[in-house]
Structure 1
Amino acid sequence: MQKKLISGLLSVVMLLVMATTAFAQEATSTTETGDASITISNASKGETYNVYKLFDATVTGKENGSIAYTGTVPDSLTNYFERDTNGYISVKDAAYTDSTKKEMSDGLRTALKAWAGNATYLAKETSDGSALTFKNLPYGYYVVTTTQGANAITVTSTNPTANIVDKNSSTPSDLSKTVDNDNVNIGDTVTYTVSFKTSNYDGAGSDAKKILSYTIADTLPDFLSNVNVTSIVINEGPDKDGKDITHDVTAQFTDKKITLEWYDEEKNQHRYKNGSTVTITYTATVNDKAVIDDGGNTNSVTLTWTKDDGNGGTTPGGGGSDFTTTDTIYTYAIALQKVNEKGEKLSGAKFELPFYVKEKAEGNTYTYAGTSAGEGLTNQVTTPDGGLIVIKGVKAGTYNIKEIEAPNGYNLLSDPFAVEAIRTGNSTTTVTKYLDENGNIIEGTETSNTKVEVNLSNISASVKVVVNKAGTELPSTGGMGTTLFYALGGALVTGAAILLVVKKRMNRSSQ
């Protein structure tokens, strides 16, 4: 069972067992001595390696020898290892991802790293880029940590020297960019976050070159205004108490770039730990130069670095492509087309909006300006000739609009109506609606129906066709209704005259 512990975990560790490699850099145990050694054949230059002994081991024989593990299982690892009544250590199924026992579980990997963070290392050394060998180690089960990860290895009786390969990258990596909201109104402030993982050296082994500085370049297109860097945090990772070691840096974009000095020439050392993570947060206002719908509004960020050989780096681990990532935000438009029941376009209809727009339109197009009143802003718009109003720069959603004044000769709409701004991916608008004989919008294309078309060649908009119906016609001059009014009026006058005569006679009689 003890050999299964060795063979199973050795097949899945992040530092893979390799053939014996000649070493050029050596380190020894500070507290214990023994006949075993661990060699890291491709140690990353500038990286510090820590060696921790988790369990003791006893061995017999050379070829095909036996090995048994003893010691105490830490409380944090009891889900993965167990100790029998004789004090021997064995591994539990939870240490693997599945029944094949070929993959170490993420839980064990995390638990080993946490345990090492609170343990005392047996040996420690910063690599010069050549093969690194830790000598004079006792037999046992070991955890080797670097700035960039934690990995378990075992020294066996059949090969007292364990040879491992560091799989962690020695090149900057993991560049990412996110935005807090990709559905925006013109005038909204968005927050971008850029992060990447650093390396103090670029390259492998003794050929690795010191990285002197990092530069982050953002395209910051014209649709973004008031760009402000709110924080730059360099996180070196946790200390022994599990608390992250962080540094705050103050800088703003200059010519759309931020440069971080990474190497201190006076002290002849890097300013921050190898494998630190840089996180840059900045805000910007979306302005009226934003593209409406279509492919959205994209800005890109590129990471580059300078090295002490005078050359620059722009590729994550090689490959020849720029180290660039992008993010996209979207804004939309709505359109109101006013017609009568015959499909004829109407001017003079006034609408009240649930937001404000710039008071002055560009042709028939208004620009969203928020939900608060202000100078040069209005929340009421009137249809011009052609009956079409376009409002650009709104985020996706439903907007309730009320007609507060109908065109002359038409009835005012009694209820508000809804317009839904949606993403189409288009840059133009082509919409066709049909009206029945009563002016109601219907589905269908029958030739007897009235067709209403809206075409916009320069903007994509969600279109609402709004129909006003003519008021009921009252009787006109010379018609029956007017004659009736005259007849009634004459009768009233005659009646009044008769009543007046009768009243006078009654008064005389009473005298």
Structure 2
Amino acid sequence: MQSAWKKFAATMAAAAMCAIGFAGTSSAFAEDTGSTGTSTSQTPTAATYSITINSMETGHTYNAYQIFAGDYALVNGARVLSNVTWGDGLTAAGQQALLKQFDVKTPAALAELMASESFTDAQLNEFSTIAGKNLSTTVAGTASTPGTSGYVISGLPAGYYLVNDQSNTLTDENKAYTGYIIQVLGDATVTPKSSVPSVDKKVQDEKADAEAGSDADGWGDSADHAINENFQFKVTANIPADPTRDMYQHPYRVQFNDTMSAGITYGSISSVQISYAGADGKTVTNDVPKAAYTVNTSTVTAGTPTMLTINIPSLRAAAGLDATASIGGAFTITVIYNAHLNENAQVLQQPGAITNTNTVNLQFSNNPYVQGSLGKTPDKTVYVASFQLNGTKHAGSETGPALAGAQFQLFEADGTTQIPVYKSGDFYYPVANTENAPVNMVSGTDGQFNIKGLDAGTYVVKEVVTPAGYNTMDPVTIVISATHLQGNVTALTATVNNEPGSLNVDYVNTTGAELPSTGGQGLRMFYTVGAAIVLIAGAGLVVALMRRRKVNGR
């Protein structure tokens, strides 16, 4: 009979219980010591006992409710609770509900049924469900502060108790409510075994410039991207094995809460997948049906952070499991979604902290008996950097006056694939949609044309319209290199045409050769050259005439 009560305790508590069982008649609970021989009986001298919850985790308030009461005695060395009656921890409605559910007339008869080998796990779950939902307001004892050995509930008469966390004490805490059926025929100690989920978040970068510690596909804690470039975030809920989930009276719920800073725009869900161990022990990975989750976004005003929630109201439905399947095993839920940086994004020109952030936490069901009671994990934040490239057009030299009206285009490293840009305010941004028509970059009266929101990489700037009187400059190749880790850009450098430079680039137009003009020095030079030619021609004519005279004998 001891084994039946071990099963009962395990299901009720989903934790290590005291070894309890029935001995003697159906009206006596006892600890079976295996003794034989002549029956002896003794009444213990202690009047009350204690329950110690072996945990130092703060924030809990444990209440003890007496489920069964009776007369306590030692019989043949075994601790026995005879003449079993209801304790005052259950409401009258709860008592009647249990008797009706199991078709018995008295608590002693219920005790006999529960001690039988035919009492199933499903029936044990039914018992715990009804008891947990029908606790009275009579609390036999409470503990809210851990001592040197944990939480101690003292002054308890002999009996059987349900001990659980007081409702509404762990809302938004990274903790789960626990529940125990505990035999108190002497001081008792239990160790909580309820587990809580955790959440992780990653952002994907190009493999070539991903941060140190990123995985082979570029997933890490930080990345750098161009404004309007699509990239992906990944959030993962790790839900450890916990038999308590099979005791829940309502669907077990998880919800991702993402907060994107004003410079990040949510795009769309790419995938939602769930993984768990199948009946054969092999990992099963499936897409979560779209009907099994909802996605909502909220932005109070433009330029403010966006909240993205991905709610999975039923873990069972997400996994595609029927009502008879256990959900007490480990599960992993992974969501990948698209996003991009927008014009509100922070851009850097020198090393510093990254303020384009995306922070996630996970809410999860944490009370088997109260629907809507949710715990919450700590936050996890990832970071996305972007960079600004300033250009200034000069006449004659890098220190020459500003030159307005020059027009430029931006290209990838091959020098032939154009990166279209559009202008908004005083800045140019990479185009990644049809909302903004691409334009040429034009140097202003101050010579400047500044590009906001570039990824690290190699770029070529070409002049496509040159101001009159100036030579078109050769293409300029710029390489932006960045190192980022744990929310900071730790190094940011640039080379210009293979020479060390910065993200402030000076572009130069030189003047063309000066052609002659009316009344100018050039015309006088032509006059001088012309006169010289006439004089030389005249001299040649004189020499020729003299030679002719000699030939003719003159």
Higher helix share: 2
Q: TM-score, normalised by structure 1?
A: 0.50
TM-score, normalised relative to structure 2: 0.46
